Homo-oligomer: A and B are copies of this chain.
Amino acid sequence: MTAKRIWNFNAGPAALPLPVLEEIQANLIDFQGSGMSITEISHRSKWFDDVINDAVARVRRLLRVGDDYQVLFLQGGASLQFCMVPMNFLPAGASADYVNTGTWSTKAIKEAQIQGKPIQVVASSEDRNFAYIPKDIAFNADAAYCHITSNNTIKGTQWAAFPDTGGVPLVADMSSDIFCRPLEMTPFGMIYAGAQKNMGPAGVCLAVVRNDLMERAPADLPTMLRYATFAAKNSMFNTPPCFAIYAVQLVLKWVEETVGGLEAMARRNQAKAEMLYSFVDASEFYTGTADTDSRSIMNVTFRLPSEAAEQDFVAQALENDLGGLKGHRSVGGCRASIYNATPIDAIETLVDFMKNFEAKMG
- Separation of A336 and B222 alpha carbons in the complex (Å): 32
- Separation of A58 and B43 alpha carbons in the complex (Å): 28
Q: By the criterion CB–CB under 8 Å, are B28 and A40 in contact? A: no
Known interface pairs A40-B8, A203-B241. Does A76 touch B76 (Cβ–Cβ under 8 Å)?
Answer: yes
Q: By the criterion CB–CB under 8 Å, are A29 and B1 in contact? A: yes
Is A12's CB within 8 Å of the partner chain B? Answer: yes
Q: How far is the CB of A135 from chain B (nearest CB, A)?
A: 30
Q: By the criterion CB–CB under 8 Å, are A83 and B224 in contact? A: yes
What 1/0 flags go to A6-33 for Cβ under 8 Å of B?
Answer: 1010111111101001101100111001
Is A116's CB within 8 Å of the partner chain B? Answer: yes
- Separation of A323 and B220 alpha carbons in the complex (Å): 40
Q: By the criterion CB–CB under 8 Å, are A243 and B203 in contact? A: yes
| Stretch with Cβ within 8 A of B (4 or more), from A194-202, A254-262, A282-290, A345-353 | A194-202
Is A223's CB within 8 Å of the partner chain B? Answer: yes
Is A179's CB within 8 Å of the partner chain B? Answer: no
Is A183's CB within 8 Å of the partner chain B? Answer: no
Known interface pairs A196-B239, A203-B75. Does A222 touch B29 (Cβ–Cβ under 8 Å)?
Answer: no
Identical chains in the assembly:
2
The A63-113 residues at the B interface (CB cut-off 8 A) are: 75-80, 82-83, 110-111
Residue in B28, B42, B224, B225 whose CB lies within 8 Å of A11? B42
The A230-262 residues at the B interface (CB cut-off 8 A) are: 237-244, 247
> Which residue of A39, A111, A115 has the most chain B CB atoms within 10 A of its CB atom?
A39
- The interface residues of chain B lying within 8 Å CB-to-CB of A79 are 223-224, 237-238
Is A169's CB within 8 Å of the partner chain B? Answer: no
Q: By the criterion CB–CB under 8 Å, are A35 and B21 in contact? A: no
Q: How far is the CB of A71 from chain B (nearest CB, A)?
A: 18
Q: How far is the CB of A198 from chain B (nearest CB, A)?
A: 13
Is A138's CB within 8 Å of the partner chain B? Answer: no
Known interface pairs A5-B35, A241-B244, A243-B243. Does A224 touch B76 (Cβ–Cβ under 8 Å)?
Answer: yes
Is A137's CB within 8 Å of the partner chain B? Answer: no
Known interface pairs A76-B75, A79-B224, A243-B201. Does A36 touch B114 (Cβ–Cβ under 8 Å)?
Answer: no
Q: By the criterion CB–CB under 8 Å, are A242 and B13 in contact? A: yes
- The interface residues of chain B lying within 8 Å CB-to-CB of A25 are 25, 28-29
Is A280's CB within 8 Å of the partner chain B? Answer: no
- The interface residues of chain B lying within 8 Å CB-to-CB of A29 are 1, 3, 5, 18, 21-22, 25
Q: By the criterion CB–CB under 8 Å, are A6 and B21 in contact? A: no
Q: By the criterion CB–CB under 8 Å, are B33 and A15 in contact? A: no
Q: How far is the CB of A243 from chain B (nearest CB, A)?
A: 5
Residue in B5, B15, B115, B203 whose CB lies within 8 Å of A30? B5
Interface residues of chain A, those whose CB is within 8 Å of chain B, are 1, 3-6, 8, 10-16, 18, 21-22, 24-25, 28-30, 33-37, 39-44, 75-80, 82-83, 110-111, 114-116, 194, 196, 200-204, 219-225, 237-244, 247, 321, 323-324, 329
Add 14 more A-B contacts to A11-B42, A78-B238 (CB < 8 A): A4-B33, A5-B30, A18-B29, A39-B200, A42-B324, A75-B241, A76-B224, A77-B239, A80-B224, A202-B243, A203-B203, A203-B204, A203-B242, A243-B243
Interchain residue pairs A-B with the least CB separation, the first 7: A203-B241, A6-B35, A83-B222, A39-B201, A3-B30, A3-B29, A75-B75
